[in-house]
Copies of this chain bind each other. A is one copy, B any other.
Amino acid sequence: LLIIGERINGTRKRIGAAIRERDAGLIAQEARAQVQAGADRIDVNAGTSVADEVKDLVWLVDVVQGAVDVPLVLDSANPEALTAALKRHRGRPMVNSISGESARLTSLLPLLADSDALVVALAMDDAGMPTTVDDRLRIASAILTRTDEVGVARERVYVDPLIRPVSVDPVQAPAAAEAVARMSAELGGAGTVAGVSNISFGLPARNAVNRAFLAVLTMAGLTAAIIDPTEPGMVAAIRAGEALAGRDEFCLNYIAAARSGALAG
């Protein structure tokens, strides 16, 4: 399972301030801490400033790739910012995200066609966020028809079923697990990805819910998780979930992770 570290997000107050002040030390530290904790990729989101997003995102790419060796997830819906960041990125990038919304899809598909980037595809469209599992599958399928048309292989696309808080919708977690299982089986090789901690929005002691849900989604077949890998027990939940799902032959990865200390905390 691909672990995407979510901490470098300009909508977070501390990170937003670090971006505005060009505090490369803090950003580099956030990147290193996440890789140390097990991140395979680092998500970089420059925040909400439309005027500055192009140069802010490029700056983030430079700082993070100067600090760590893992590839990034370029988190923006702005074609101009993504174009600049894709040029600057070393290695194979991932774009977060396209969706079934017509304007977004039309503006971002050419960027994907012109690169080898992986991409997150949110299962939502012009009608908004779907509620049923069937709707999620239908929207995902429609997006994949479009990515097929521009020559983006299924394996490059990670469909996000969109996790809503269980405090708002009590059937959200089983529905998401079912969506992940069906997407894995029915979408011709596309991956799945989820912003796991959305599930616990509005609850106290969010970590226990995040960990439990991450284990459940890993068992369901999730192929990428957008998480804070420094949050206690998150990487352990993934490694345990992989072992439990039979996705880790002879539990060798689990055993190696335990021996390296990666499951502590």
Given A167-B250, A205-B263, A249-B170, also A240-B211 (CB < 8 A): yes
Residues 180-222 of A contacting B (Cβ, < 8 Å): 199, 203-205, 208-209, 211-213, 215-216, 218-219
Q: Is residue A7 contacting chain B, with contact meaning CB distance below 8 A?
A: no
Q: Chain B nearest CB: distance from A200 CB in Å?
A: 9
Using CB atoms, name the residue of chain B closest to A238: B212
Task: Give the interface residue-count category, chain A.
Answer: 35 or more
Q: Is the interface of A mostly helix, strand, loop or mixed?
A: helix
Q: Is residue A258 contacting chain B, with contact meaning CB distance below 8 A?
A: yes
Which residues of chain B are within 8 angstroms of A208 by Cβ–Cβ distance? 233, 236-237, 239-240, 258, 263
Pick from B204, B237, B250, B258: contact of A204, CB below 8 A: B258
A-B contact pairs, 19 of them (CB 8 A): A170-B249, A171-B246, A174-B219, A174-B244, A203-B258, A205-B254, A205-B257, A205-B263, A208-B236, A209-B243, A211-B212, A211-B233, A212-B212, A212-B219, A212-B236, A212-B237, A213-B244, A216-B244, A233-B233
